Structure formats: C-alpha cells, structure tokens
Amino acid sequence: MIASVIYSAILLSSVGTVAAIVLFVVSKKFSVFEDPKITEVEDALPAANCAGCGSPGCRAFAEKLVNTEDISELFCPVGGNEVMKQVAEILGKEVAEKDPTVAVLRCQGGCDVRPKTTEYQGPRSCAISSLVYGGETDCQYGCLGDGDCVNVCKFDAMFMDESTGLPVIITDKCTSCGACVEACPRDIIEMRPKNKRDLKIFVGCLNEDKGGIAKKACEVACIGCSKCEDICPKDAITMDNSLAYIDPVLCTLCRKCVEICPTHSIIETNFPPKKVKKPKETPVVKASVTQQNPSANA
Amino acid sequence: MLKTFPKGGIHPPENKITAAKAIKRMSVPKTVYVPIAQHIGIPSKIIVDRKDKVEIGQVIAKSGGFVSSNIHSPVAGTVTKLDMMVDSSGYKKQCIVIRTDPKNESNLVIPDFPLKREITLSQKDILQHITDYGIVGLGGATFPSHVKLDIKNDKHVDCLIINGVECEPYLTADHRLMLEKSEEIIVGIQILMHALNIEKAVIGIENNKKDAIAVLKRATESNPRIKVSALRVKYPQGSEKQLIRAILKREVPKGGLPMDVGVIVHNVGTIFAIYQAVQHNQPLTERVVTVTGKKLNNPSNFWVKIGTPIKDLVEEVGGVPEGTRKIVNGGPMMGKAIKNTDVPITKGTSGILIISEEEASRKEPKNCIRCSQCVFVCPMGLEPHLLMNLSEKGLYERAAKEDVMTCIECGSCSYVCPSHRPLLDYIRFGKSIVKKLETSKN
C-alpha cells in the first residue's frame, strides 16, 4: 500500500521535473524580446480601440509609436495632447501638438425644412440607399437620415433626433476618432477645431446646386449668394460651386457671416446670446411688462 | 425540348400586355434633355455651347475615350442650357437641354428608309460608322458597341449571337422591333458577319414570342448561315452569359468576356441601330420604348427620341393612373424606380413601367429560414444568402472570395425569398465596396 503511494509520487515528480526542464529550455530558446515600453505606452493610451489613429487598435498603435523614429505625425485623437505628452515622456521622443477637433454635422435639412419628394423602401442604411439614388428629398448632398454614423460611433456621442431625422453630435462625448466621417457616404460630417469654449462657426450645408434649386429643395440651404464672402474681414470664406466654406484656421469667430446669411445656413455653436444695444426706452418697456404681469414678480 | 441555361432561373408572370401593339411614333418633344453619361464608361465631352443652333444628328458631345460614345442631337433646335438634371441613376448629371425648333422641317422627317440589302462599305468603314454614330448596347447595359467589336488578336470569334430574348416581364420593345423590322435586322446581322468575318449567327428568342420566331425564320430561309433558336421561357436568359450557355453550351469563364469563348452577343435593338448607321448614315438618336402598366388606359410601344422627358410619354398613354406607386425605368426585375417624371429617356431605356401600390410595395423582411431557394435560382451558382450576410457584416474580403463580383444583379434571389429579405440590395452594396477595394489595391 505504502509502496504504491511512493511509486506514484516518484513517477509524478519525475515527469514534472522533465516537463519543467523541457519548458525551461524551450522558453529560453524561443523567447521573443518585446520592448516593455510597448505595454507602458499601451497603458497610457485610452484603450478605446477606435482606430481613429489609423492603426487597428491601441496595442498596434503603441507598437507603431515605439518602433517609429519620428512620431510627430502620429496622433491619438481620443487621448489628445495630454496622452501624447505622456507617450512622449515614456519614449523620449517629440510629439506634435494638435488642436483638439470635434465632429460637426454640415446639414440642417430636417423634415420640416426639406420636404420629402420620394419614398425609399429597402434596407435602412445610408451606404445602400446612396447607391440607389440621391435620397428621399430633392437635395442630393444632404443627410440621408438612416444613421450609419450613429451606428459606428463607439462613444455614444451621436443619436438620431426623431423630430428632424438628422443625427445629433454630443460634443462633450465626441473623441474625434473619425469613424462617422468615414461612414457617411455624403461626407457631411467634418472635423473642426474645438477651442476652449467649443465655439464654432461653419456652413451647415453642402448643396452645390444653384441658389434657386437649392432653396427649393431645402429652406436652409446655402444658395451661394456670396454675402458672407463679401462681409468676412479675414477672407476666411471661399465660394465653390455656389457653396460657401469657412476656413476654421482663418476664421476669428466674429459672427458677421451668421447674421448676414439670408437662409440661416451658417451655424454658430455655444456662443452666448448677443448683447442687444439697449435703446433708451428699454427700461420703460420693461416696467410696463412688469406692471402687466404682477403675478410674475410674486 | 427547347434550349435553356441549366443553372437556376425563375419564371415570373410575363404580363406582356403590349405585345400586339405596333410601334407608334412619338411626336417630337418641345424640349429634349440629353444626358452626357448615357453609356457605361467615360462620359462624353460637350462640344456645343449655350445658344448654339444644332441640326438633327449633329454630334453634341464627343466620345471621352475608348470606352465611351458620341452623342448626337435628336432634334433640330437651339441649345438653351447646359444643366444638371436628375437622370435614371437618381443623381443629378450633366445634361444638354435643346429646345426644338418647330419651324425646322427636318424634325418632321421620319427616318424610315427603304430596305437596302447590299453592303457597300468596307470592313473598316463599317466599324468606323458604328463608332462615329454613337451605337451602344440597347439591351439595357449601354456598353459602347465598338468596344465589343474590337476583337483582340489572340481571340477567335466564330459565332455571333443576337439577343432577342427579352426575358424581362412587361417589356415588348425588342419583340415588336423583330416583328416590324425583321428584314433590316437580318441585313444588320449580315453587316456584322461581314465586318468581323464571322461564319455563323444565331438569333435567340424565347418561345413566348412565337410570331417573332416565325417571322425571322421566314426571313432567314434563304440564308443558311443565320439560324433562329427558340428558347424556353426563363429569366434571366437575356443575360449574355446565360444566353451563350443556352444556345452554344459554352461557359464564359469567371470574370471573362463572351469573346473568350469565341462569341459576340448583340441585342436586336443594337443590330437595328447598326443597320441604320451603316446603311443609312443615321446616328443613334431614337429607340423603341415600351410604356406599360396594368392600370394604364393605353399602354403601347413607341419610337422615342433620346432625351424626351418621361412625362411626355406618360401623357401619351393617358397620364399617371390613380394609385400609382412607382414609375420604373426598365422592366420590373432589373429596372430602377425614377425620382420624378422629368427624367429623360436615354439610350438604355427599354421600357417605362407604371406600377400600383399592390405590386410595388416591398414587404417587411424577416429572418432567413435557410430554405436555400435563393441558391437554387441563382443563375451564376452563387449563394446569395451568404453573400448578403457577408456584406451586411462588413466581411468584404470573404465576400470577394465567394465571388460576389460575378453576380449579374438579376434579382432572382430577392424575387423568390419567402422571407422578403433584401438580398440584392446588400449584394450590390457588397459589390460596390469590393470594387472599391480592388481599385485601391491596383
């Protein structure tokens, strides 16, 4: 009885020892050196695996960062400058600083301003319906409203507004990974620089048709009147095929173009309401309002 | 037993309601809208300007390359605009707008010439005429004909197949043309046989057009080199590859052309256009269009000038009937719904189909039940359900391996699917992505 216990113990431990030796030899012989910096860099990256940097995932991007000499052209849009600074510290390389960007939707053609002229039956996907024709409305440049961009967003930064049929971008959540820009078959979504207070001015239209046709298809279309181009003090606005474009670098956010646009196709975001120069009678009017509405004060 | 292709195919209701209606001539439209991208390949280059006076048959847009074609003015008049217009692709494309000059008598001349049998032109001149007079494939694919006739040195073509199948339901344009212009078509075939040194020609016609088979058989009695082959009625027999398989039992290799198996295929409409171009120097400015639909008062076949807006044609048959859901450019299987009736007739428009709510609406897609009906009917031997899934999930490289590019987009799979799945929509989408990937690779 005892003997069989001893035999099996010896047998098992000898098998174990042999296996351990084999494993040790193999691991030494076939060991692959991996730069520990790769893991370090990967830990610094946001682990979003969004492929916004151009690499298929954060690990692949970390490898690329470690193995590339000059990384000034590589950038993680999700982590932004902070993460890139950390990466630079780990690797001792120089990184370029980039202004943070955010996705904007360059179409305002909701159901209320852009009437539907046809009806599409088929798979609800912008990529498929754009193969078939120019869309349910008469504007063949605008949003198709099937939400391909919303489906690809990994950060829940977009949703479809059911009242307008257009996607909405939640700027705080947007990491500017660029997935929506690629998913949109109409190139409606553009990455524009995001300053501290997220002030932006851009043309919310891509319609290249002549004014009359564009306006007929959509009330808020850019009609190519060039009024904004004329008024812009910094020459930031260019006209191409009766469509205005505002260069985000040159634009000083003076808002002159927003006011002058006859179709309100230029969008401003997050600006405080403009102070209206108060005429002298204003206090009187205010007083009369309060008088009429005594309950409001209570 | 009649000949047909062995793999797959369906037999939708034929509905050839206009088969007995002789081709009428449409009155000359007041304005024509001529798109410059009417054919597969490079769009033509406009060579006229606003306010230019143009004559009937004058070149208004020149071929933009080898795979391209000249476009001629269908009317005599004045160019009023060079504008963007929605065409049958559903997108705005460059168009030449010509206002017809009502006083110009050449607009009223009907290009009906006495039959001219003897072929006087040399081989080279015949091909030059086909190139110059803007002949493209009138079966629907609008492939420039001179490209098809350009036989590479290493290829040997021994048979010319004339496609008179017209397997699309509703359409009767080719059928009527075969009945009314049979002699001209035979001369057209002889022209091509002479130009390319081909010894044998076969006209393939489905057996639901017995009168056309009889007329053409009579016309070819004296000519043993041209045969008429009656085919079993099956869709998509009008597709080049299926037709070659049905008539000659030759299989065109994957990604290959009919020329690889020694065949050239032309539609009867194209043959008639070639006859007109070679024998009477007539450019391709008009074609036969079937305007049809179950609810129409007076569906019929028409000779229509290229560039005529579809609304003119619809008016001719008594206006859009109540309860119309879709107006389709082409037949019900391969045709495409148009956005509005301002869309012009192009070289590829074989029919205008007006369909009502019941026929037009698509049913809600349900889950795939793995019945493999789509696999049975696919004439190319593909697995449509698999290709759809691969495209839907974005596995394009696997879709390419499963030969998504060989799909001829006949729509048989979507037609038979009991779950009403949008098979063709997704396969077409997958094809477009695979094509993009392939071009970016090269």
Of the partner residues A118, A123, A140, the one whose CB lies closest to the CB of residue B91: A140
A79 with A108, same domain? no
pLDDT at A220 over 80: yes
List CB contacts (< 8 A) between A209 and chain B.
84, 92
pLDDT, residue A135, reads 87
List CB contacts (< 8 A) between A51 and chain B.
none
A76 with A175, same domain? no
Angle in degrees, CA B143, B147, B152, rounded to 5? 140
Nearest to B309 by CA among B329, B283, B282: B329
Domain of residue B381: give its range: 373-441
Residue of chain B with shortest Cα separation from A121? B362
pLDDT at B23 over 60: yes
pLDDT, residue B266, reads 95
**CATH number of A116's domain:** 3.30.70.20
B274 with B169, same domain? yes
Residue listed under structure tokens 């076949």: B301
A81 with A105, same domain? no
Residue B229 lies in a domain: yes
- Number of domains forming the structure of chain A: 2
Residue of chain A with shortest Cα separation from B335? A132
What tokens does B212 get?
Answer: 């056309």
Mutate to test the interface with B, among A116, A120, A121, A207 (most CBs of B within 10 A): A121
A55 with A198, same domain? no
pLDDT, residue A276, reads 64
What value does the mean pLDDT take over residues B161-177?
A: 94
Residue B20 lies in a domain: no
What are A224-282's pLDDT values in tens digits?
A: 999 999 999 989 999 988 899 999 889 988 889 999 999 999 998 888 877 666 555 44
B132 with B272, same domain? yes
What value does the mean pLDDT take over residues B207-233?
A: 93
Burial of B262 (0-12, 13-18, 19+ CB in 10 A): middle
Q: How many other C-beta atoms are found inside a 10 Å radius of the C-beta of residue A209? A: 24
Distance from CA of B420 to the nearest CA of A (A): 11
Which one of A72, A91, A110 terminates a domain? Answer: A91
Verify whether the Cβ–Cβ distance A134 to B428 is below 8 Å. Answer: no
The answer to whether the CB of A45 falls within 8 A of the CB of A37 is no
Residue of chain A with shortest Cα separation from B84? A209
C-alpha to C-alpha distances, B270 to B38, B132, B135, B141, B288, nearest whole angstrom: 15, 14, 7, 11, 11
3-state DSSP: chain A helix, strand, coil percent, rounded to 5?
35, 10, 50
pLDDT, residue B89, reads 86
pLDDT at A286 over 60: no
pLDDT at A296 over 60: no
ipTM of the complex as predicted: 0.85
% chain B with pLDDT above 70: 100
Residue listed under structure tokens 């008009």: B286
Domain of residue A129: give its range: 101-269
What are A166-214's pLDDT values in tens digits?
A: 999 998 889 888 899 999 999 999 999 887 788 889 999 999 988 888 9
The answer to whether the CB of B164 falls within 8 A of the CB of B209 is yes
Query: Is the whole-model pTM more than 0.95?
Result: no
Q: Does A117 touch chain B (CB under 8 A)?
A: yes
Residue count of chain A, please give it.
298
What tokens does A101 get?
Answer: 């960007």
The answer to whether the CB of B285 falls within 8 A of the CB of B344 is no
What value does the mean pLDDT take over residues A115-143?
A: 90
Where is average pLDDT lowest: A41-45, A105-109, B148-152? B148-152
pLDDT at B354 over 80: yes
Which one of B261, B280, B299 terminates a domain? Answer: B280
Residue A2 lies in a domain: no
Q: Does A118 touch chain B (CB under 8 A)?
A: yes
Phi-psi group of B170: left, alpha or beta (phi > 0 → left; psi -120 to 50 → alpha; rest → beta): left
Which one of B280, B299, B324 terminates a domain? Answer: B280
Verify whether the Cβ–Cβ distance B422 to A123 is below 8 Å. Answer: yes
**CATH number of A85's domain:** 1.10.15.40
pLDDT, residue A277, reads 60
What tokens does B256 get?
Answer: 């290959």
The answer to whether the CB of B437 falls within 8 A of the CB of B268 is no
What value does the mean pLDDT take over residues B270-290?
A: 94
A108 with A63, same domain? no
Q: Does A134 touch chain B (CB under 8 A)?
A: yes
What are B71-91's pLDDT values in tens digits?
A: 999 999 999 989 888 888 888
pLDDT at A291 over 50: no
Q: Does A289 touch chain B (CB under 8 A)?
A: no
pLDDT at A285 over 50: no
Compute chain A's Rg from CA coordinates: 30
CA B390, CA B380: separation in Å to the nearest integer? 18
Residue A134 lies in a domain: yes
